[in-house]
């Protein structure tokens, strides 16, 4: 197993444990290929990692930040700023924008219903549903890589797409039936 793969195993173990606020990672771990072991004696404090890793008889010193573990060329995941302790990246902004558009569709629906005096789902509602769902889906697919988020947003996007199709088809049929005049 190469040193690069070993480092990947170490970082994966640390990222998994950092979510549970473990401050020390100590022990012997089997590599994913099952051919060797990695001995870890690491400390994590305020996102900073220090310690030693022993692999195949070689001792390696470890020091760095978990933030530095991401590829520097991956600008979509890099931290733009922190807001209330939350690391904000371009992918998170896309997710926030999708959530805002998806939630904002209800204000559009409420306005259209109030104007019509009855419940109405206008075309803007379905466009906003589809746009918001696709933005949130892109965040969960490319930004977060979270299957739960993908599955929970895949269904609303297909429903919005289908309803948008029905709305456009209905208006085109009504327009043809009225001799080319738009239906009201």
Q: Is 1's pLDDT higher than 50?
A: no
Which pLDDT score is estimated for 151? 87
Q: How far is CA 164 from the centre of its chain?
A: 25
**Cα angle, residue 14 at apex, residues 29 and 1 outer, rounded to 5°:** 45
Q: How far apart are CA 134 and CA 153, in angstroms?
A: 8
The answer to whether residues 92 and 173 belong to one domain is yes
Q: Is 172 in the same domain as 89?
A: yes
pLDDT at residue 32 tops 90 = no
Q: What is the mean pLDDT of residues 73-101?
A: 86
How far is residue 162 from each of residues 70, 123, 165, 176, measured CA to CA in Å? 39, 12, 5, 21
Strand locations in 21-164 (E)? 24-30, 37-45, 48-55, 58-65, 81-83, 86-88
Does the pLDDT of residue 34 top 90, yes or no?
Answer: no
Q: Which domain holds residue 53?
A: 3-69
Give all strands (DSSP E) within 32-135, no chain letters: 37-45, 48-55, 58-65, 81-83, 86-88
Average pLDDT value for the chain: 81
Q: Do 61 and 90 have their domain in common?
A: no
- Domains in the chain, number: 2
Give the residue from 49, 69, 89 where a domain finishes: 69
């Amino acid at each position: 197993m190469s040193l690069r793969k070993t480092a990947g195993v170490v970082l994966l173990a640390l990222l998994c444990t950092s979510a549970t606020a473990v401050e020390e990672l100590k022990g012997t771990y089997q590599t994913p290929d099952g051919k060797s072991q990695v001995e870890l004696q690491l400390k994590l404090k305020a996102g900073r990692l220090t310690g030693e890793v022993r692999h195949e008889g070689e001792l390696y010193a470890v020091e760095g930040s978990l933030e530095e573990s991401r590829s520097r060329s991956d600008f979509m995941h890099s931290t733009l700023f922190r807001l209330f302790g939350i690391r904000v990246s371009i992918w998170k902004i896309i997710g926030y924008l999708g959530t805002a558009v998806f939630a904002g569709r209800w204000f559009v629906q409420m306005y259209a219903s109030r104007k019509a005096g009855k419940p109405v789902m206008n075309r803007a509602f379905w466009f906003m549903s589809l746009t918001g769902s696709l933005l949130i889906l892109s965040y969960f697919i490319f930004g977060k890589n979270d299957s739960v988020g993908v599955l929970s947003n895949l269904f609303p996007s297909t429903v919005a797409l289908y309803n948008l199709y029905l709305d456009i088809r209905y208006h085109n049929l009504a327009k043809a039936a009225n001799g080319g005049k738009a239906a009201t």
